Structure 1
Amino acid sequence: MSVKPEPASALFAGPFALATLSALSSPEGPAFPALVTADAQVLDLRVALDDGRLTVRDLLDRWETALPRLRALAGGSGPGRRPLADFRVHAPVEPRQVFQSGANYRRHVIDLHVAHRAPGDDRPEEERRAEAAEIMDRRAAEDLPYVFLGLPSAITGPYDDVVLPAWAEKPDWELELAAVIGRPAHRVSVEEALDHVAGYTIANDLTDRATVFRRDMPQIGTDWLRSKNAPGFTPLGPWIVPAESIADPGDLRVTLKLNGETMQDESTKDMIFDVARMVSYASQTARLLPGDLVLTGSPAGNGMHWGRLLRDGDVMDGSVTGLGAQRTRCVAEAAS
């Protein structure tokens, strides 16, 4: 099932975005790459570009030549355009790799540091907050983002239900700005990094807080496979908005509402490492490929902060300035 978004005056910044859609009239029909205009009209890019096997990732593979054609199509007119309301919206791209970032919003990290009090740590909250702030300052000075890998199989659509696994004791939300790679990037500098970003989208990087740290062997640290990669734990989209339509990714508002109540509401200005530094850092080790995602971390206001974690029936509304909005409903997995 899916929860449709509430109407909005503008779907996204700029004249067009990329999406992956399927026709509501043919539920079993194939998904296809689409150009969506700001006035909610859809153009099937398989037809417009005369390629019946085309995907959004194919377009990103040849982004430098595809972008001018997409601009022309967005500015043109003619037959073949249909209203967005006729289609189901899927995750906009199937990435080969998902690079996730932790501890990248200053206030969020300090809140988590306080919430995850180590056993026996009876220091006052003010002291522990000061310690976290000092750690963040040191990380920023040493230019060491915290990047790890997620699974593409955890990705789901922006309006799809999110199944909360029966084993997940503390499922939490983490709304994030995600950069979408448009040119291969390996060992690129910070100054070059944004040239490799095709566009931006929204990701909700759900996390089961109870399984982040290994209880059986704390020496080995975090378990991101278990805590972040259940099927559907990364609602993505609805669109990829071209980078040229986003004036400053370092000045966007990230907002998540739970059942209508605002939980996260922060500017990307609070990021310790901006998009360019994240992409450059990941590329020093890995080769980033077109269609890959670089999630840039989540701001303060997650469930651990509020003492209110996700449960059956919750509805999350997430938005990022210029990138649209997603709406997902939580559904408890039936106990085995």
Structure 2
Amino acid sequence: MFVKPETESVLFAGPFALATLSAPDRPAFPALVTPDARILDLRTVLDDDQLTVRGILEVWETALSRLRALAGDDGLGREPLADFRVHAPVEARQVFQSGANYRQHVIDLHVAHRAPGEDRSEEERRAEAAEIMDRRAAEDLPYVFIGLPSAVTGPYDDVVLPAWAAKPDWELELAAVIGRPAYQVSVEEALDHVAGYTIANDLTDRATVFRRDMPQIGTDWLRSKNAPGFTPLGPWIVPAESIADTGDLRVTLKLNGDTMQDESTKDMIFDVARVVAYASQSARLLPGDLVLTGSPAGNGMHWGRLLRDGDVMEGSVTGLGVQRTRCVAEGTP
């Protein structure tokens, strides 16, 4: 486990956030975190020893007012966050991932991912990418696929790079957390079903994105995106009411201290509401589910520099805190 520095300040918007924490003598529990790095064990405060963050999200409409009151009650005995391990904030049943949702990122990937047999120039492929995006935006067709909950890991845990992953890459994203079941909801209704937001790093092995043995099949997201730990999540779920505008948040990833991604969500082709609404047309979104909204430009393929043993990624999104993970090659002691 890569432990976050105890001196790191807890920065998120609003008066509180939700987390899942543990200690050597305390199994994982749901916690209310305040910006001064203090926590309340919600199982104790709410007198429910089986409570989880997902359980809170399942009754979000009634739980939210209680959480507000707890955050404002200075008389409650709070504990220092530094005494606890921070896990992924929620155990999702489903993970919906939006691909090709930042304009500049799509252009870069379209050029970098040369499919088998592709012999067109970079200029031609850039022009094609722009045309595809314009058409998708006009037809209101986001690109959403399914990830595995087993790929999710904590915001400060080591990320194991599998021996077979020849080109592991980063993709920092804003993730919406569902708080009310959503099925075939409209764009106008979609955000009413979002409880809050968190940070996800949707790692991808670029070498296995396409099936070289059967190119007509296209992308292989199972192989390229779902190794254990390939989705660092968190550290917190910040209530949606604390995020004023998801259309203008800064998504920043640093690799060993160097800024690689630094873009506003303004560059999204489809905003959060459109992605959530689109996913709900085919699937029933459940409380605690994650909807990843795509990653901006600045991935390793763009820089010609992929992840390797010992790399440290630090990802932040405005108002949602910071996650920090270290890469460890498979088999490293």
TM range (shorter): over 0.9
CA 1:63 to 1:19, structure 2 compared with 1: closer, same or farther past 3 Å? same
Using the alignment, how far apart are the partners of 2:254 and 2:264 within structure 1?
15
- Say whether 1:129 aligns with 2:135: no
Report the equivalent of 1:218. Answer: 215
Where 2:135 maps in the other structure, the secondary structure is helix
Relative to the length of structure 1, the TM-score reads: 0.96
| SS of corresponding position for 2:322 | strand
Deviations 1:27-53 (A, max 9, x none): xx3100000001111000001111011
Determine the C-alpha separation between the residues in 2 that align with 1:132 and 1:74: 47
Q: Which runs of 5+ in 2 are unaligned?
A: none
Partner residue in 1 for 2:194: 197
Deviations 1:281-317 (A, max 9, x none): 0000000000000000000000111110000000000
- Report if the CA contact (8 A) 2:116-2:215 is conserved: no
Residue 77 (structure 1) aligned with residue 81 (structure 2): no
Could you tell me which residue of structure 2 aligns to residue 55 of structure 1? 52
For residue 95 of structure 2, what is the aligned residue in structure 1?
98
Equivalent in the alignment of 2:14: 14
Give me the whole-angstrom Cα distance separating, in 2, the residues matched to 1:313 and 1:40: 28
1:318 matched residue in structure 2? 315
Query: Which moved further from structure 2: 116-125 or 61-70?
Result: 116-125
2:254 maps to 1:257: yes
Counterpart AA for 1:45 = L
* Equivalent residue, structure 1, for 2:170: 173
Aligned residue for 2:246, secondary structure, equals coil
Taking the TM superposition and a 5 Å limit, the aligned residue runs for 1:27-66 are 29-66=26-63
TM-score by length of 2: 0.97
**Residue equivalent to 2:104:** 107
Runs of 5+ in structure 1 lacking a partner? none
- Relative to structure 1, the CA distance from residue 177 to residue 6 in structure 2 (aligned partners, 3 Å threshold; closer, same or farther) is farther
What is the identity percentage for the equivalent residue pairs of Structure 1 and Structure 2?
A: 88
Count of residues paired in the alignment? 332
SS state at 1:250 partner: helix
SS of the aligned residue for 1:30 comes to strand
Shift of residue 125, structure 1, vs aligned partner: 2.4
- CA offsets, 1:84-134, max 9 Å, x none? 111110000000000011100000000001112245544442332122111
1:206 paired with 2:207, answer: no
Show the 5 A alignment for 1:131-170.
Answer: 131-170=128-167
Task: Report the Cα offset of residue 188 of structure 1.
Answer: 0.2
Partner in structure 2 of residue 186 of structure 1:
183
The corresponding residue for 1:274 is 271
Given that 1:5 and 1:327 are in contact with CA atoms closer than 8 Å, whether structure 2 keeps it comes out as: no
Q: Distance in 2 between the 1:136 and 1:5 partners?
A: 41
Measure, in 2, the Cα distance between the counterparts of 1:306 and 1:269.
22
Superposed CA RMSD: 1.3
Identify if the C-alpha distance between structure 1 residues 136 and 6 changes in structure 2 by more than 3 Å, giving closer, same or farther.
Answer: farther
Distance (whole Å) between structure 1 residues aligned to residue 85 and residue 27 of structure 2: 11
Q: Name the CA distance, whole Å, in 1 between partners of 2:305 and 2:299.
A: 8
Contact 2:249-2:264 at 8 Å conserved across structures = yes
SS of the counterpart of 2:260? strand
